[in-house]
A and B are shown apart, each in its own frame.
Chain A
Amino acid sequence: MALRQRLLISLAGLFGLALAGCASDEGSLQSQKMALIKGRGELICGVQGTLPGFSSVEGDGSYVGLDVDICRATAAAVLGDPGKVQYRDLNPSERFAALASGEVDLLSRNTTYTLSRDAAGGNGLSFAPVVFYDGQGLMVPKASGITDIKGLSGKPICVETGTTSELNLADRMRELKQPYTPLKFQTSDQTYAAYLQGRCAAVTTDRSQLAAKRTGFPNPGDHVLLPDVISKEPLAPATVNGDPLWSDAVRWTIYALMQAEELGITQANVEAKVSEARANPNLADLRRFLGIEGDFGQQLGLSPDFVVQAIRAVGNYGEVFERNVGSGSVLRLERGLNRSWKSGGLIYAPPFR
């Protein structure tokens, strides 16, 4: 790529504009990225860093969260060690530039999967499967007795200004032909402070954020999330476009976590399942999945047991969810759309064949 083009792209990234389409010259069958990661012995993972449940830092300096577990699972699959991850905190305006410039190998930073981010004419990312189906929601005080969005007709609603939440709310209310008064604030702290002072009947933003903020309220039990979801926010990890082998490795590592939940393989029983599959040649599906027979790992450029490594590191998708944002965490989010397809959710892995 010509230096000038690179500079232009960099400048576009710098000012938070959409990156110019980045036609890659690395489209050979060899994955340069994967060779680089293996040579370095470390995966560099871009995370948000300050988002409860998704990525945050513990008192001992370790990173935890759902996004972090995706990094750990990938490192386990590629390098055989979930600890071999270097985390980079990225802000929204630099995240795509950091990925494009190779500062990070994998962007696991609650990024909404959209057309313009995926398209070569847009940000030109390559998205991995959605790991969290979020959506904009509304929170009301329990005492108000409001049970759905219709109950908010004519009421004031607190919203952060300049966000997509503000636009989504306006769109949805116009659709429902429902009057309302938006109370707009510059920062999220102001927004929630106003809500807690009772200046508005409801507060709106992504449901995961609402749940996270609620845990900081004086009486979290006094507030409920309405069942209405007024926007789609599918959050997915992303890799740079133009290295299909690397993108596939990330994609199928994540699918492996989802498939493991479907097959009932957990962090606790994975060793037992491996011994069971080893002993019984009739369990062909399980044997292929766990890399005891077949060459799935090799086809992806990974080790034969990459699935086992990933599950050993973080457990299956359900465990990752419950531990970080679900019932095992303080956020206590319902699985909702993030249930397995067998239980009526959207989490679905294509067959491992």
Chain B
Amino acid sequence: MNHRLLPLASRLRRELFATPLDGLISVGLVVGLGAGLQALLHWALTQADWAVVQANSTLLVVGRYPLEQQWRLWLLTALLCGAAGITWGLLRGRGWPRSDRLAAAVLLVLGVVLPASLGLTAPIQQRWWWITGLLLLGRWAAGCWGAALPLRWRRLLPLAWPVLYLLGLGLIGGGLGLMTVRPSQWGGLLLTLIEASFAILVCFPLGIALALGRRSALPLLRWCSTLYIEFIRGAPLITLLFLGQNILGFLLPGGLAPDRVWRAAWILTCFAAAYVAEAVRAGLAALPRGQWEAARSLGLNMAQTLLHVVLPQALRVALPATVGQFITLLQDTTLLSLIGLLDLLGVARAVMANPEFLGRNAEVYLVLAVLFWCCCAALGLGSRALEHRLNRHSLRSEP
């Protein structure tokens, strides 16, 4: 029987109050949640002083990025949102969650209401409205005319993202006529996202290579990969970060060591790669040996077997664990505040030390929690959608 067809009252009874114990648990949970929510709202609306967040919002988001260069970040945000909108529009109805109209409506409301309710200044509010508009426009335009585009063009679209990423790094860092903004001036959410995205993007291929190396038939390659993975997994991340910040200066002659922001990014990358390698290895191990043999006997060479037969299947198995690792990686970036980088947590600690806002820790930490939750939820949603898509492919018979 379809539960959705039952009237609300009997559905509630069935799902929440089936037995006395169920009822007790349900009531307890509802009361507990209600009390918690009420206490939180009471605190947020009457006791909290949100001036600390309003006055430091720029600092929290971009750190010490020079004020007169911030148009570059706005431009980048607009580009990213435009590209996201177009991608969204093209993928609509192709294995993506169906409720995207609802998602668009929610986004529209958030885009209009949030900037106003946060008490941002008028020009910044307007910029957010423009950017939300751009995103929805991209979605709408791609939805209307995307299908009319030649298939070859649509195939090229995913390539826009790596190009955009490199362009973004260029925009943030400067050069080629733009004023250079040194990594030491990046901060806040910007630094957290740069570090996390760089580490995620680079550790994935590195992890795959390490996993393949660990299963390689060449003993030296196998030993090296195993040694690397076991060494990294045997050391706490914070130790490696300290190592990078303080030892490299000793080992390399002055000025040769890369900037500490990039040092930290590479260490995060190398650290995560070892864990990704293990996830991918699990995926490889889950694949029946017959897949290899079948592909080889069809006359595919080693590279073709890997690219077209083995990896697509192994990565599908490894995806949930890998995304879990990515989310951990994003959260691990908070360790950067311990080595003196002004990531989101580092900037937050600096904000809380501002004599004007002493004792306003709870407000700042709450905002941090919300920001981190949003980033992690976005990663989680993306991976679930990807899994959904991949699984749909796997159920369909191959042509």
Contact = CB atoms under 8 A, between A and B. Distances in A.
Interface string A52-64: 1101111111100
Contacts of B207: none
Interface stretch (A71-79, A90-98, A280-288): A90-98
Interface stretch (B283-291, B308-316, B355-363, B371-379): B355-363
B340 A88 contact: yes
Interface string B101-130: 000000000000000000000000000000
Interface string B344-370: 001101111111101111000000000
Nearest to A98: B246
Contacts of B63: 61
B189 interface: no
B358 A89 contact: no
Nearest to B56: A59
Given A49-B353, A51-B353, A57-B347, A89 B342 contact: yes
B162 to A, nearest CB: 30
B350 to A, nearest CB: 4
Interface stretch (A8-16, A124-132, A264-272, A335-343): A8-16
By CB atoms of chain A within 10 A, which of B353, B359, B361 has the most?
Answer: B353
A50 interface: yes
Contacts of B354: 52, 56-59
A217 interface: yes
A222 interface: no
A36 B253 CA distance: 13
B358 A52 contact: yes
Interface in B187-245: 187, 239, 242-243, 245
A186 interface: no
Given A10-B246, A89-B342, A101-B249, A59 B355 contact: no
B325 interface: no
B64 A97 contact: no
Interface in B63-92: 63-65, 67
Interface residues of A, number: 42
Contacts of A189: 361
Contact of A94 (B55, B242, B355): B242
A329 interface: yes
Contact of A50 (B67, B242, B341, B353): B353
Interface stretch (A208-216, A223-231, A242-250): A208-216
Contacts of A217: 359
B300 interface: no
Interface string A28-51: 000000001000000000000111
B251 A216 contact: no
A49 B340 contact: yes
Residue of B346, B350, B356 most packed against chain A (CB within 10 A): B350
Given A7-B251, A102-B249, A61 B359 contact: no
Contacts of A60: 58-59, 67
B254 interface: yes
A13 B353 contact: no
Interface of B: 55-56, 58-59, 63-65, 67, 184, 187, 239, 242-243, 245-247, 249-251, 254, 260, 338-342, 346-347, 349-356, 358-361
Given A49-B340, A49-B349, 14 more contacts: A6-B251, A49-B342, A50-B352, A52-B353, A52-B358, A59-B55, A59-B351, A61-B64, A88-B184, A89-B341, A94-B246, A97-B246, A98-B245, A98-B246
16 contacts: A9-B250, A14-B242, A49-B350, A50-B349, A53-B355, A56-B355, A57-B351, A59-B55, A61-B65, A88-B184, A88-B340, A89-B350, A94-B242, A101-B246, A330-B355, A330-B358
